[in-house]
Amino acid sequence: MNNQLSGTIGIVGMGQTGCSVLRWLLAQSCQPMLFDTRQTLPNPAIQIMKHADVALVTHLGALHVAALSQCELLIVSPGLSIADPALKEAALNGTEIIGDVELFCRFDDRPRIAITGSNGKSTVTTLVTEMLNRAGMKAAAIGNIGRPVMDVIDSDDDVLVMELSSFQLETTSSLRASVACFLNVSPDHLDRYDSFEHYATTKAEIYANAQVSVWNRADALTQPSTLERTTSFGLTQPEPEQWGLLEQQGELWLAKGQTQILACIHMPMLGAHNRANALAALACVDGVQANIEKCVAALVEFNGLPHRCQTVLQHDGITWVNDSKATNEGATLAALNGLSGSYDGRLILLAGGDSKGADFCSMRSALNEQVDELICFGKDAIKLANKRQNARLVGNLEEAVDIASSIGKKGDLILLSPACASLDQFSNYMERGDRFAQLAQEVSR
């Protein structure tokens, strides 16, 4: 076993991430201490322990400094804040605190493309992975996208495409990405950070020791501190070796410098924000010298991800779009801007939920200038409704869909893009989006 794993190790948080770490540590003949803030361990963790043939010390409920400080190393799941007082004091007592991504990076030296951003990172991560596989480079999408990094540490993949949240980056110091991409930043998770600046700075840590840095020309906060070994993307005409849009004879092209790569009309994904996502993905695969022509073939077939500006119904001339993944202001603004021009009638926006501390001030102009009807639901509906005159206020998504259906006319676009988390009324944003699609079908019958 690597000497980096010597001493007592603890896993804090026994969800999907914690279980992936536990499986790997057991395979290394390590017997970690387990911590979980719940009163009982989740069933997947119990099943792993049943087959481990070893008795593991387990601490349940509130975290206590004395127990945490018994460990030389704590591997903390991203769902738990390292600002927790018990974790902070354990760190002061000399315990090293890392996350699963840091553990992975210490034991795996394969090329990796790391992608972060408030919005679009799952789309870009998936697109990059499909491009690389099409180009003959076996790639896997891991991290925040749903597949824990420790589950692929022994895989035969050539390149690892890592979607990383700010929570994962704050416990990672050995990333050293082949390509690090920072897509954008907008207010999010302000219930966990001291300020928006703190949140943005945490995301920018993705650039540390990266071989190539990819940033967004339209978002100054994504710009690396040094412009050495960097490339940018954006919806403007690009400088040489940068990525952007070119207009030729009235047709828009994805381009690198003056080189046309793909006419935007051939992209199945709609909206300006998805053109930006495509350009970011191209910059990433170019950073590992993948065959761009083969990568473009994947882009032509890529329809985007569920719950991300996904058309779920077209009925009686009305288009219903599910953008439930928009859990913050920036994501909803991106949808409003990206979908502009894709409908003939009015835009009816359904929004609301748990704002996670956001004040929606950045949305005021868009809500009043781009939205024709605003229907607000959920925990922070009133806060959102106050940003637009004549907003409609309802209790839940079902009522919102009913009203949208009653006022919708031919040519209109009804958009679920909540700008909020879903946990006030749903298990996750996927359940919220699926429910929206189901309700749209029901009211259209």
Degrees to nearest 5, angle at CA 44 with 65 and 435: 105
Check whether 123 is labelled as a binding-site residue: yes
Contact (CB, 8 A) for 422 and 432 = yes
Alpha-carbon distance of 334 to 119, in angstroms, equals 8
Catalytic residue status for 315: no
DSSP conformation letters of 318-343: EEEEE-TT--SHHHHHHHHHHHTTS-
Strand order in the sheet with 9-12: 58-60, 33-36, 9-12, 73-76, 96-98
Q: Which among 133, 144, 322, 328 is annotated as catalytic?
A: 144
Contact (CB, 8 A) for 115 and 125 = yes
Contacts of 50 (CB under 8 A, 6+ apart): none
Catalytic residue status for 121: yes
Check whether 405 is labelled as a binding-site residue: no
Task: Tell me the backbone φ, ψ of residue 77, rounded to 5 degrees.
Answer: -65, 145
Contacts of 221 (CB under 8 A, 6+ apart): 185, 200, 204
Check whether 120 is labelled as a binding-site residue: yes
Cβ neighbour number for residue 93 with a 10 Å cutoff: 12
Q: Which among 121, 203, 256, 273 is annotated as catalytic?
A: 121
Catalytic residue status for 189: yes
Q: Helices (DSSP H) in 355-410: which residue ranges? A: 364-369, 381-385, 397-407
Contacts of 61 (CB under 8 A, 6+ apart): 37, 38, 39
Q: Which among 133, 184, 189, 328 is annotated as catalytic?
A: 189
Contact (CB, 8 A) for 142 and 162 = yes
Check whether 122 is labelled as a binding-site residue: yes
Check whether 121 is labelled as a binding-site residue: yes
Alpha-carbon distance of 409 to 411, in angstroms, equals 6
Binding residues for ATP: 117-123
Positions marked catalytic: 121, 144, 189
Binding residues: 117-123
